């Protein structure tokens, strides 16, 4: 079965041309994880295509997504990209122009908002109840994303799912993709609020969800059975047609090998072969085809 990994990262060594804005690296990591490293790991794991999400270590400036752009150009048959932006600007036209620039490449799928972090030049401080994504100054971004038929990828905590419902309702033409199942943790339960607000969010057809970064949230080893209840509920609420598989590698390297970040899907007993096909590649192809 074809596999599209919808959430990876890649970056080079810091250079004068592409310096690191901060050492935002996976736990215990030093140095680069290049697009060549990623493709080699994909080949070893049997992954056909992947999405490179720009890492915050390059900041939000005009060249923040340069490495991602170079990666997808180097591997046109394997890689897609998602970019970062400086979202708050005094001139609304400037942010729309920046969004057009970042998503102008046919394999740049959209931009990411780190809703689960305070809005900073380098988003690293967790704020599970932050509401900056609702700021009215972001209206041009949300509307332009819909006009451009590009995606906004949002990384929230469960406590912020209500914010996403507000935005999905306000901007029905804009496609929203929720990263990492809203990052389950010790404050969440698959059958209790606030995480069950996903059921309400599923009412909005413009919302999809990534089943990604499971090793970080899991308290049990592979195949992360303590998270299978989350997966089963999302399949019930969204249907497999709006769910996507992702690894979050190499950010998961401290917890799991690359293959483990994806192969857990085959062990979820409640899923049919059709379910797995949509989650593994067909949803991605429908969303970005």
Checking if the pLDDT of 246 tops 90, the result is yes
What's the domain count of the chain?
A: 1
Classify the phi-psi angles of 161: left when phi > 0, otherwise alpha if psi is within -120 to 50, otherwise beta. Answer: alpha
Upstream peptide bond of 250 is cis (omega within 30 degrees of 0): yes
What is the structure's pLDDT at 135?
98
Q: Is the confidence at residue 132, as pLDDT, over 90?
A: yes
pLDDT tens readout for residues 182-232: 999 999 999 999 999 999 999 999 999 999 999 999 999 999 999 999 999
Q: What is the pLDDT of residue 241?
A: 99
Q: Are 200 and 165 in contact (CB under 8 A)?
A: yes
What's the mean per-residue pLDDT of the chain?
Answer: 98
Alpha helices (H) along 56-207:
66-74, 92-103, 139-148, 161-170, 198-201
pLDDT of 55 reads 97
Radius of gyration over every alpha carbon of the chain, rounded to an integer in angstroms:
18
Cβ partners under 8 Å of residue 158, min gap 6: 128, 182, 183, 184, 187, 188, 194, 195, 197
Query: Token match 């990262």: residue?
Result: 9
Mean pLDDT of 142-159: 98
Domain that holds residue 87: 4-288
C-alpha 107/C-alpha 125 separation (Å) is: 30
| The pLDDT of residue 29 | 93
Q: How confident is the model at residue 243 (pLDDT cuts 50, 70, 90)?
A: very high
Closest by CA to 110, choosing from 139, 85, 138, is: 85
Average pLDDT over residues 102-125: 97
Rounded to 10 deg, the angle between the 92-103 and 139-148 helix axes is 40
Q: How far apart, in whole angstroms, are the C-alpha atoms of residue 282 and residue 274?
A: 10
25-56 tens-digit pLDDT: 999 999 999 999 999 999 999 999 999 999 99
Q: pLDDT category, 289, cuts 50, 70, 90?
A: confident
What pTM does this model have?
A: 0.98
CATH number of the domain bearing residue 178 = 3.20.20.140
Share of the chain above pLDDT 90, in %: 98
């Amino acid at each position: 079965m074809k596999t599209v990994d919808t959430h990876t990262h890649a970056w080079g060594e810091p250079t004068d041309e592409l310096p690191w804005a901060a050492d935002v690296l996976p736990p215990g990591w030093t140095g680069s994880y290049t697009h060549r490293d990623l493709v080699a790991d994909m080949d070893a794991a049997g992954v056909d295509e992947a999405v490179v999400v720009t890492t915050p270590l390059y900041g939000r400036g005009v060249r923040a997504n340069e490495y991602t752009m170079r990666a997808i150009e180097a591997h046109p048959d394997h890689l897609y990209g998602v970019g970062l932006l400086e979202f708050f600007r005094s001139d609304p036209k400037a942010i729309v122009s920046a969004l057009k620039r970042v998503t102008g490449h046919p394999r740049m799928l959209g931009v990411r908002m780190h809703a689960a972090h305070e809005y900073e030049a380098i988003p690293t401080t967790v704020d599970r109840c932050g509401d900056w994504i609702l700021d009215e100054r972001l209206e041009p971004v949300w509307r332009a994303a819909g006009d451009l038929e590009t995606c906004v990828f949002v990384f929230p905590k469960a406590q912020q799912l209500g914010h996403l419902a507000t935005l999905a309702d306000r901007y029905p033409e804009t496609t929203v993709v929720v990263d990492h199942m809203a990052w389950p943790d010790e404050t969440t339960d698959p059958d209790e609020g606030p995480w069950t607000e996903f059921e309400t969010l599923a009412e909005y057809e413009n919302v999809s969800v990534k089943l990604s970064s499971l090793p970080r949230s899991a308290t049990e080893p592979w195949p992360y059975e303590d998270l299978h209840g989350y997966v089963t509920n999302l399949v019930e609420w969204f249907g497999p047609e709006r769910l996507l598989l992702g690894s979050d590698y190499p950010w998961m390297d401290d917890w799991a090998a690359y293959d483990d970040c994806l192969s857990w899907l085959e062990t979820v007993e409640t899923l049919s072969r059709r379910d797995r096909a949509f989650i593994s590649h067909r949803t991605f192809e429908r969303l970005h085809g």
